[in-house]
């Protein structure tokens, strides 16, 4: 087979982004890949990603992640009229590396499929933000675009079957989201279970099996964690904080807070105020 000409790589940088809609004969080839990572969101059409072990065909809402120095051999899939991707060449921040371990159908080529409409819309929206910010005149445009890209990576991690959250039953994931969004409201187990389409007993059993907490305990932890933030960052009276996090009775709030943290809300706040400031 004759040598294929290498497609020029984007200019080096922490983040290079773009989008296009290509026709049936579009292809890219870089024998040694690039030094950065490449993230490709398949908006519409189908693409082919070649590897020594065979081709990978992607469709809408597939996301491909190419590792550094992996051969780039991709383009519009055979017999397809077009391919429309959003793409980003990036050098990940060190903290991202734990989130870049996706299923790998071929060496160096990782793939996720987003089946959840909400996740699709969030990631596409943030990807467009990445493109817009990275091309903006803002002085901090690259940092802002990298922050938006980090959010994409985090949403992908939630969809990653290798990730801890993705291994949860979808109904339990929904219940966790619901609790975190509504913890300040009265939330009997029967109400949360109804949001998941489960009976209260079945929901409670499944929730504990998957999270190792009861729904009531998880709800209370969300309320107490939020209370800690309000005690630290606001001067709201404790009785107001109790109501904001879902406790109608401030005395019961103080009792549960002390049982969980070992001290009362008042002492918690006082300790924070009197803590010595460390020199930097």
Structure tokens at 131: 């493109």
Strand runs labelled E in 109-235 = 109-113
In CATH terms, is domain 15-165 a member of 2.40.160.40?
no
Q: What is the CATH number of domain 168-274?
A: 1.10.10.60
Structure tokens at 247: 């406790």
Domain ranges of the chain: 15-165, 168-274
Distance, in Å, from the CA atom of 267 to the CA atom of 248, rounded to the nearest integer, reads 21
Q: Please indicate whether the domains covering 15-165 and 168-274 agree at the CATH topology level.
A: no
Tens of pLDDT, residue by residue over 114-171, are 888 888 999 999 999 999 999 999 999 999 999 999 999 999 988 887 766 656 788 9
Distance, in Å, from the CA atom of 246 to the CA atom of 250, rounded to the nearest integer, reads 10
Distance, in Å, from the CA atom of 74 to the CA atom of 220, rounded to the nearest integer, reads 50
Element (H, E) at 147: helix 141-159
Q: Residue 267: CA atoms inside 13 Å, Cβ hemisphere, count?
A: 8
Question: Per mean pLDDT, which range of 3-17, 145-159, 190-204 is the poorest?
Answer: 3-17
Contact between 162 and 104 (Cβ < 8 Å): no
Structure tokens at 88: 């980003």
Contact between 159 and 181 (Cβ < 8 Å): no
Tens of pLDDT, residue by residue over 217-263, are 989 988 988 898 888 888 899 999 999 999 999 999 999 999 988 89
Element (H, E) at 140: none
């Amino acid at each position: 087979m004759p040598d294929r000409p290498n497609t020029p790589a984007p200019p080096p940088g922490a983040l290079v982004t773009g989008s296009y809609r290509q026709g049936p004969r579009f292809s890219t080839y870089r024998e040694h890949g690039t030094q950065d990572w490449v993230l490709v969101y398949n908006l519409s059409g189908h693409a082919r990603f070649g590897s020594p072990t065979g081709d990978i065909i992607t469709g809408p809402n597939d996301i491909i992640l190419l590792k550094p120095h992996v051969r780039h051999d991709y383009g519009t899939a055979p017999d397809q009229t077009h391919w429309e991707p959003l793409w980003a060449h990036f050098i990940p921040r060190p903290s991202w590396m734990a989130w870049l371990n996706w299923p790998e159908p071929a060496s160096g080529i990782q793939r996720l499929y987003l089946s959840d409409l909400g996740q699709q819309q969030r990631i596409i929206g943030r990807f467009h933000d990445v493109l817009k910010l990275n091309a903006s005149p803002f002085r901090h445009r690259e940092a802002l675009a990298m922050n938006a890209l980090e959010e994409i990576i985090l949403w992908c991690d939630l969809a990653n079957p290798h990730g801890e959250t993705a291994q949860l039953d979808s109904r339990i994931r929904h219940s966790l989201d619901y609790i975190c969004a509504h913890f300040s409201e009265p939330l009997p187990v029967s109400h949360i279970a109804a949001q998941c389409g489960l009976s209260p007993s079945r929901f409670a059993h499944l929730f504990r099996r998957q999270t190792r907490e009861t729904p009531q305990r998880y709800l209370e932890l969300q309320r107490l964690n939020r209370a800690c933030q309000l005690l630290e960052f606001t001067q709201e009276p404790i009785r107001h904080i109790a109501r904001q996090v879902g406790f109608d009775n401030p005395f019961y709030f103080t009792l549960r807070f002390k049982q969980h943290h070992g001290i009362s809300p008042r002492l918690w706040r006082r300790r924070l105020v009197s803590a010595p400031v460390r020199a930097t």
